[in-house]
Amino acid sequence: METKIFKPNQISEAAAAIKAGQLVAFPTETVYGLGADATNEAAVKQVYLAKGRPSDNPLIVHVTGQATVEQYAQPLSDKAQALIKAFWPGSLTLIFKLQPGALSPAVTGGLQTAAFRNPDNQVTLDLIKEAGVPLVGPSANTSGKPSPTLAKHVYHDLNGKIAGILDDGPTEVGVESTVLDMSTDVPTILRPGAVTEEELEAVIGTVRSTHHKVGATEVPKAPGMKYKHYAPNAQVYIVDHVTDWAAALKWAGQQDDAIGIMALDHTLSGLTLPQNAEFFSLGRDLPSASHRLFAGLRHFDLESPVKGILAQGFSDEGLGAAYMNRLNKSAGQVHFTKDQLL
């Protein structure tokens, strides 16, 4: 199969591929998603095959608004409607109980709930409208690898496996949406993202945040809860404190292989990079770091291969919760310690 690059003025062609049961990657404000007709079970199953994704890892359904959700979900609560009004279109995924038989188990992982999102990207909203169906849309990458923030990232992983990629340039947010479970008594954050716990509570009151680890035989309610995610080829080491960077750079210089460095521009002020290290800027603050995290991991995979990556950590608060959730998973919870020095 030849994977075609669709431009925004070719939405009709991309939609025709979707309607024909094919897979088309699409842009959102967070990362690129791998789209298929959510009402076409055969097409949905192809998403799992293309990504190499476990079939018990449920998919997020992308819609253009509340009316589509109401076709599939049980009646929405006042809190759910308030969240939709406040954050859609945007980086918030909401899990609802479904009407019986509303969506295929291929979409839901066999659960009686499904996750819905209204992305904040006009090109993709136009694609959904043109296709006339909601789209499943996990990140458009090989399962377990860093999420794609550029069309070329998608092409690298899925060329020849999908019909096309709708290219709308770089994504704006760079980390996936917040996933909030509205099927429980207390709304529960299953995956932190760009919409923070504080922002949610300002609209609906108390929410619960969970870092529940899903068991081997348990089906996760949301993506990213059970399986390894976001991992580049090189081992990532999280540098937790600015004061640790001098030791971290010393360790990098002791290695025989090339080492990648991912940090804010000012973090390494006054320090000298060893000759075997390459710097990838995370920008000037936490929002820019969140935006550039996956791009940096992809850079060291595709353009400048290294054997290890030192990446800056942040406080696990606000947007930092989303950043550290992704970074910890990409590193397999491995943090740099001074014990690594020779």
Tell me the C-alpha distance between 62 and 33, whole Å: 9
Tokens of residue 233, six digits: 């080829």
| Residue 230 annotated as part of some ligand binding site | yes
Task: Identify whether 272 is part of a domain.
Answer: yes
Domain identity same for 135 and 69: yes
Task: Identify whether 220 is part of a domain.
Answer: no
Domain identity same for 109 and 45: yes
| Residue 12 annotated as part of some ligand binding site | no
Write out the H or E segment, with its range, that includes residue 6: strand 4-6
Closest C-alpha among 235, 198, 224 to residue 326: 224
| Residue 191 annotated as part of some ligand binding site | yes
Task: Identify whether 141 is part of a domain.
Answer: yes
Asked if 134 contacts 22 with a C-beta cutoff of 8 angstroms, the reply is: no
Task: Identify whether 102 is part of a domain.
Answer: yes
- Beta pairing, strands 178-181 & 188-191: antiparallel
Tell me the C-alpha distance between 204 and 187, whole Å: 9
Question: If you count them, how many residues does the chain have?
Answer: 342
User: pLDDT under 50 in the chain at which residues?
Assistant: 212, 226-227
Of 174, 209, 244, the residue at which a domain comes to its end is 209
What pLDDT sits at residue 53? Answer: 82
| Residue 32 annotated as part of some ligand binding site | no
Tokens of residue 305, six digits: 């291969």
Of 154, 174, 209, the residue at which a domain comes to its end is 209
Domain identity same for 71 and 155: yes
Domain identity same for 123 and 42: yes
Task: Identify whether 224 is part of a domain.
Answer: no
Task: Identify whether 16 is part of a domain.
Answer: yes
CATH number of the domain enclosing 294: 3.40.50.11030
Domain identity same for 294 and 250: yes
What pLDDT sits at residue 226? Answer: 46
Tell me the C-alpha distance between 66 and 46, whole Å: 27
What pLDDT sits at residue 219? Answer: 59
Hey, how many other C-beta atoms are within 10 angstroms of the C-beta on 236? 26
CATH number of the domain enclosing 120: 3.90.870.10
Domain identity same for 19 and 94: yes
Task: Identify whether 35 is part of a domain.
Answer: yes
pLDDT tens by residue, 161-187: 999 999 999 999 999 999 999 999 999
Of 193, 209, 225, the residue at which a domain comes to its end is 209
* Residue range of the domain that includes 239: 235-340
Task: Identify whether 228 is part of a domain.
Answer: no
What pLDDT sits at residue 340? Answer: 80
User: Would you call 130 exposed, middle or buried from its count of C-beta atoms within 10 A (0-12, 13-18, 19+)?
Assistant: middle
- The structural domain count of the chain equals 2
| Residue 227 annotated as part of some ligand binding site | no
| Residue 147 annotated as part of some ligand binding site | yes
Instruction: Give, to the nearest 10 degrees, the angle between helix 286-302 and helix 151-158.
Output: 40
| Residue 113 annotated as part of some ligand binding site | yes
Domain identity same for 59 and 188: yes
